[in-house]
Amino acid sequence: MLTMKRIFVLGLALTIVSATIPGGVTELSGADLKEAEDTLNNSLSKLASGDGPNYKLSKIIKVTRQVVAGYRYVYDVELIEGSKTKVCNVVIWSQPWLENGIEVTFNCPDGQVVRKHSA
C-alpha cells in the first residue's frame, strides 16, 4: 500500500513539474487560452491579407503551448473557408524577434500549407 502511495505522489509531482518547465507541453485554459486564440486570429488575419490561406476561426477544440526558442502553439480547431467548415490541426511557431518569425502550419483534410509572416 505504501508503494502505491509513493507511485501516485511521484506521478502527480512529475505531472505538475512537466507543465511548468521549459520544453514541457501545457494544455491551455483561461487567460492563456484567450492569448492563444488572439495569436491564431492575428495570424489568420495577416495571412488572409497576404498570399493566404483565407480562413476564419469557428471554434477552438484544444490548444497546447510549448516553450522552445519562442512559443510553439498546437491547435485543434474548426476553420471556415468560404462556406465550408473543416477540422484542422494548426501549429504556430512564434519567434517574434526574427524577420518573418511566425511560422504557421495548417494540417487539414485537403493537405498541408506552411506560411510565414512577421510579428
- Is 2 contained in some domain? no
Can you give the CATH number for the domain in which 47 is found? 3.10.450
Residue 98 lies in a domain: yes
> 48 and 8 in contact (C-beta within 8 Å)?
no
**Residue 20 forms part of a structural domain:** no
Concatenated DSSP letters for 64-114? EEEESSSEEEEEEEEEEETTEEEEEEEEEEE-TTSTT-EEEEEEETTEEEE
Condensed to tens digits (0 to 9), the pLDDT of residues 85-96 reads 999 999 999 999
Domain count along the chain = 1
Q: Is there a contact between 11 and 17 (Cβ–Cβ < 8 Å)?
A: no
Question: How do residues 70-110 score in pLDDT, each as one tens digit?
Answer: 999 999 999 999 999 999 999 999 999 999 999 999 999 99
The whole domain housing 66 covers 25-117
- Model-level pTM greater than 0.95? no
Asked if residue 83 is part of any domain, the answer here is yes
75 located within any domain: yes
**Best CA proximity match to 108, nearest among 53, 39, 37, 68:** 53
